[in-house]
A and B are shown apart, each in its own frame.
Chain A
Amino acid sequence: MRRKKLEKKYIVLIILILVTLFLALIFTIIKSDHDLNPIEQSIKDSVSFVGKIIYKPINFAKEKIAENKEKDDLYEKYQEQQEKLANVDNLETKQRDLESQLKEMKELLNLNQTLVEYEYLNATVINRNVGYWYNTLTIDKGKTSGVEEDMVVMVADGLIGKVTKVANFNSTVKLLTNNDTSTSLSVKINIGDKYVFGILKGYDQDSKRLIVEGVSGNDKIPLGSEVVTTGLSDNSPSGLLIGTVSKIKTDNFDLARILEVESKVNFDDINYVTVLKKKDEK
């Protein structure tokens, strides 16, 4: 009888050890930013390829429906564009002037690279956040198209995230709206003629706003100030729009400022993205 009890105890102990080991293994896998091994890459590539084939005709129909809807408010859009067009000439002249100034300065300082130059790579989203918790997208461009880890990803309205995993023909993009407590991005807030710096720490699901903490200095930050990337990481260019400051509050100790940033991006419906990489000087 006693022996049986002891055996039961051992079994419970072994189960507990196994569960602990399993959890430890899972933690390591989730926490580590491991590169995809060749088997993972090929499985991911082939399944994504099949998914892409299935998705293509459905996407075509979806686009046609969207196109028809767009036609309804074509006149309003035309008027909007006309207004914008009036400013384009001015902006073009200004850009040409700035580009030539930049070129001169680069020559003067013997700089090979600046933080604002980057190349574009357009990609289509092939699946969105299937794992639910991870807030990721899978795009149809991978290593073969020159995508690398940590490259930033944008849509027309601003930055949406960065590439975290790369296979040969597809990549995983982690969105800014993810709740991963370990990811952060350095940002700067444009206040008039200068910048204050901060760290983008996460996303508030309730208010649907991005949270910027660790704001430097004591300068007053007006609401509506633009928040952009600093370009201080390996693969992120400078000056990419993230959003605008919509609320300023302080932490629990009333010491540090926390900014709520409203992004113009509709994170719920992203179909096409642009991957950016810093331009290499030839």
Chain B
Amino acid sequence: MEVSLYPGCSFDGVAREYRESVEAVAKILSVEFKELPDWTCCGASSAHVANDKLAVALAATNLETADRVGMDLVVPCAACFQRLKVAEKHLKQGKPVEGFSGKYEGKFHIKPIVDFFWENVGEKALKEKVKTPLKGLNPVCYYGCLTARPPKVTDAKNAEDPQEMDRLLKALGANVRNWSFKTDCCGGNLTLSRTDLQLKLTRKLLDMAEEAGADCIVTECPMCHMNLDSKQKEISQEAGKLYNTPVFYFSELMGLAFEDRSVEKWLGRHTVDPRPLLKQRGLI
């Protein structure tokens, strides 16, 4: 199966283990992700603050490229996904997009990467590759804000309670916990500019995961991962109690269940080391 991939700016940087694990599991599942040629930044969380037209045009130019390639476009970053969908809606409604004069027919779908694995690769193909079921692991799925919201843009089936990642992890054998904070904000937009507020929002997610009986959090968004994984030391200092919850990319857990040999290399890039938990559960 071949599809286009829009990696986004974090995929080579802070989310390096995300890229490595996505590439590894794609190989196992015979999925070929073709990186969108000469892709450019989608405008992310800043262009829409400065100028609506700039924000739409920056994303639209990538849709033109995807149209030319002619394959569905898979996106591993929640913010990139949403910005590309905003541009898609503009173009499909025939609204003029200043700064963009390209051709667009829209003969492809834009999909968050978890939805792609769950819906296009499918449960059967995933289950066939499972060598070590993730028995004993109790994750909560954290989707973040922008793969879901707002549904009139994202076309999410269930924006308040998405299910795709939950089902995918259950197919891998995990004991997925239910919780009400799947799409609550981690404060990603304020990480650098109002760190105090971001820490409050992220701490709430860590607390609620614990209350739901989870031993780890799983995400599909590079910014959510960074906030949840790399800020626990600061949160511990502020709270006066130890926070030490492993945070995985869903693709890392796929690799773990498929027994990919690079799993420990990916996990070594985390701030909270998930290996003690996995050893305790007999998974590595």
B and A form one assembly: no
- Chain B residues with CB under 8 Å of chain A are none
- Chain A residues with CB under 8 Å of chain B are none
